[in-house]
Amino acid sequence: MARAGCCDKGTPEGGDALLMDVSLPAAVIHEAPLAHNLAWMQRFADAHGARLAPHGKTSMAPALFRRQVAAGAWGITLATAAQCRAAFVHGTRRLLMANQLVGEANMAIIGDLLEAGADVYCVVDSGANVRHLGRYFAARGLRLKVLIELGIEGGRCGCRDHDQVLALGEAIDVEPALVLAGLEGYEGVVHGDDPESAVRDYAWQLVEAARALDQDGLIEAETPLITASGSAWYDLIAEAFRDARLDGRIVAVLRPGCYVVHDHGLYREAQRGVLARRPELQQGLEPALEVFAQIQSLPEPGLAIATLGKRDIAADQLPLPLRRYREGGSPDQVLSVEGWRVTKLMDQHAFIHLPDEIDDDIRIGDIVAFGASHPCLTFDKWRQLLLVDERLRVRESLVTLF
């Protein structure tokens, strides 16, 4: 697993200057854009009458969970029972597990969390799962809040139509240990020639299914939920939930995760789509996550090798060189990487194509900041990430719990 340039206590070795004291490569989060993103997404949710439960699997960093909750988040979304336990141990009390809870070992984890005072929701999409959960939690004398998942044909999990949703609601209704709390979905599995229209249609299918469950008296929870939204189409989901005018009876919960640090690839493109659809939104999200690495070799003209690889940064899109600094230099002295292009990643090496008119001043040891696409696939490579200020001074080490 990649190192964060820090010792076990989470402090930089020898000092707090990123360009001098920290063993590189290191994953870095910039303080100002992080604060901007936290506030921006919370304002967005508030403006749409929705609650925010950011997906914690993006970072699995309790320090970021605490910042998200402090900014106004209703809870934190997780994907597994073990993730829920890790978040709870580090202070998160409301946990939305946007996944099916299967296997008695996993049920035992959630049961322990309920006994410890956690407020937990999970997802169901089959009668078999409902019966198993009902037996297990009844035997422990506990009640578990569940959300029915509505999926799409050819997608991953979830009921495939409203009839299945209502039938499952009736199955939950006869299980004393289960409390139906509403409906869950995920629009990221929706594709097609016109994905925007398809996502809008899916959002309204969620609304109609949630209304049907409520009208049939199947939702037992005092505060019914309807929840969806990843980090690409959250505006369409929020708009549909707002325009549905659910009369305050059903509460909308949005679950984007990658917004917390945004990115320089997939979600930057998605954000351009959001701002094009919603020009009234002020200043979009800002990329906050970078990986800093050094030039280790200049083996031939037009080629540089950096100390960065698939063990350090997401590789579904190649990293983007952003800026260059001298080792031990001032953060004000930013050197050019114009025309630099990563062409290949190995485990610990990045191949960088240099333009013909390259600055002869490039040196072994120069430090390059790289941007990445899909932050989930960078976070999970690090046990710690470094929070830095505008002077590239390390302010905090953010531990991850993957």
Amino acid at 401: L
Quick: pLDDT tens for 78-113: 999 999 999 999 999 999 999 999 999 999 999 999
* C-alpha span between 104 and 127 (Å, rounded): 16
Residue 2 has pLDDT above 80, yes or no: no
Residue 212 has pLDDT above 90, yes or no: yes
DSSP state of 178: E
For residue 149, give the nearest of 117, 120, 122, 111 by alpha carbon: 122
Mean pLDDT of the chain: 94
The residue ranking higher by pLDDT, 62 or 360, is 62
Q: Band the pLDDT of 6: cuts 50, 70, 90.
A: very low
Residue 186 has pLDDT above 70, yes or no: yes
Instruction: Supply the pLDDT for residue 246.
Output: 85
For 52-56, 131-135, 244-248, 378-382, which range has the lowest pLDDT when averaged over its residues?
A: 244-248
Instruction: Supply the pLDDT for residue 192.
Output: 85
Q: Band the pLDDT of 191: cuts 50, 70, 90.
A: confident
Residue 4 has pLDDT above 50, yes or no: no
> Looking at residues 152-167, what average pLDDT do you find?
96
* C-alpha span between 78 and 58 (Å, rounded): 9
Percent of the chain with pLDDT over 90: 92
> Looking at residues 260-281, what average pLDDT do you find?
94
For residue 289, give the nearest of 209, 363, 351, 374 by alpha carbon: 374
Residue 9 has pLDDT above 80, yes or no: no
Question: Computed over its alpha carbons, how large is the radius of gyration of the chain?
Answer: 23
Instruction: Supply the pLDDT for residue 334.
Output: 97
- 163 HSE (CA, 13 A, CB side): 0
Instruction: Supply the pLDDT for residue 8.
Output: 41
279 Rama class: left (phi>0) / alpha (psi -120 to 50) / beta: alpha
Quick: pLDDT tens for 327-370: 999 999 999 999 999 999 999 999 999 998 765 689 999 999 99
* C-alpha span between 305 and 293 (Å, rounded): 10
Domains and CATH numbers, the chain: 1-31+265-402 (2.40.37.20), 93-256 (3.20.20.10)
Residue 402 has pLDDT above 50, yes or no: yes
Q: Band the pLDDT of 289: cuts 50, 70, 90.
A: very high
Q: Band the pLDDT of 283: cuts 50, 70, 90.
A: confident
Instruction: Supply the pLDDT for residue 14.
Output: 59
Residue 383 has pLDDT above 80, yes or no: yes
Residue 12 has pLDDT above 70, yes or no: no
Stated pTM of the model: 0.94
Q: Band the pLDDT of 282: cuts 50, 70, 90.
A: confident
